[in-house]
Structure formats: structure tokens, C-alpha cells
Amino acid sequence: MSCGVRKSPIEKAYTDYTIRREALLSFERSDYMYCEQCGAQFEPESKFCPSCGSPVAQVPGNAVSKSHIQEPFNHSGNTEEVVWVLIAQRKESFFKRKACSLIFMRDKLIVAHLSAQLQKEESAKVSSEIKAQGKGFFKGSAAMMQHWANYHKKYYSMTSGHILAEDPTNFAIQYMNIKKLIYQCETTDIDADGRSYGHQGKLDISLFEGKKIKFSHTRSHDSTIKKMMIELFGKKLKYRK
């Protein structure tokens, strides 16, 4: 009797995306279009999707969105599913950084900022709970540290609407609006004397409108994450270890 191995959310997403990616990338005719609901291929003159029956948005003349041709579609299944959350800092200026979580969904990336006000309110709430439980200084400090270490995990069970409403500075980026995404892993070098030097990871996003958004992070190379990001962004992604 064989025992099934439970896949992580990232591994499951990778399997789903691989199936759809192979189906879509097998076609290279530039005169085809793709359904915005299910990703199925259809002729430019079609009025309804032959797969799901959704009405087709007509494009004037023979214009076809190149992003639909060159990149894999990632609208399979529930677009509200969170496949990964990356703790990061958004670069607002040369010296200014803002703590945030990057929530990767199937069709969009949401930037959820951890403002000073939100952090203050959250810490006050946890402190009240620790006090009510009668924990001493050391156990209370450990509980507070544990809370912040797992804080980002709450986004796995939240909808995009709730995340965006959490703070007025939060915003979403649709993958179709991304021109290029550079993901640089955090690395560590060791010199001749045995001293180690860390190089912070980065994530730079370039939009078709010309805007660039930059983040830093502390995640090292992970092959599963790399595969997931390739399936989400296709040729738009530049992944560097």
C-alpha cells in the first residue's frame, strides 16, 4: 500500500501551472487570441469562448495582445488563492525602506505594507493577550517574537479585498501589467579569512507604463520557489541565484 505525499501550496500551484503552460505554449500562431476567463485559444473573429462560453472582448483590427501570446496564462483555478508570501522591504528612496509582505496570487501580486500605526496596534493587541494569559517577561517576549515571525502567514487565508482594505497604502499589481521582473536571491560570500558577507536579495518590477518598483528580501535560493515564479511570470522573469 503506497502512502500519498501531501504537496505544499507552492508545489501544488507549480503542478497546476505546468499543465496550463504546456497547453498554451504549444501554440505559436500569432493570429490566435486567448480567453481571459479560462485561457483557452480561439480565433480572433470568435464572439464566445469555445471552452467556457464567456463573451470575447473584441480587439479592433488584427491587434492581439502580445503578452497573451508570449507568456503563460495563470488564471487557472481560483485567482484568489495565495501561493506564496514573501517578507520584504519596499525601496521608497535611497535611504528609506518600508516593511511589507508580497502576496503572490494566481493573477496578481499584492503589496501589503506594515505601517508604524498598524504595527503599534498589532503589538498592543498581542500585549493585551499576553497579559490576560498571565505570562511573565521571558515567556511574553517569546510569544511576541513568535507572533511577528508568523505574522505574514495570515495572508494565506485572506482575500485580496481584505488585504487591500487593511491599509490605505496597500496596492495590487496585475501580472499582465508587468513587463519584467528580476528576482535576485540572498547570497553569502566567505573571504580568505573565513569571514562571511551577506548580499541582500532583491525583487525589481518594471511595468509596461514605465514605472519601476523595487524591494529587498532575505530569501536564499529555493528550487520550488523558482519553478513557481517561472510558471507565474514566464519569460518576464529573470531569476538570479
Q: What pLDDT digit, counting tens, does each position of 60-107 carry?
A: 443 334 433 334 444 455 788 999 999 999 988 778 889 999 999 999
pLDDT score for 105: 94
As a whole number of angstroms, the distance between CA 205 and CA 193 comes to: 37
Hey, where are the domains in the chain? Answer: 9-70, 82-116+157-240
Return the pLDDT at 61: 40
Distances (CA, A) of 223 to 83, 220, 233: 15, 10, 15
Which pLDDT value is given to residue 64? 37
Q: What is the pLDDT of residue 188?
A: 84
Q: Which residues contact 195 (CB under 8 A, 6 or more apart)?
A: none
DSSP string, 195-209: -EEEE-EEEEEEETT
CATH 2.30.29.30 assigned to 82-116+157-240 = yes
Length of the chain: 241
- Positions of the chain with pLDDT lower than 70, given as ranges: 1-45, 50-54, 56-77
Looking at residue 175, what DSSP letter applies?
A: G
Helix (H, G, I), strand (E, B) or coil at 43: coil
Query: What is the distance between the alpha carbons of residues 64 and 42, in angstroms, rounded to a whole number?
Result: 12
pLDDT computed for residue 11 by the predictor:
61
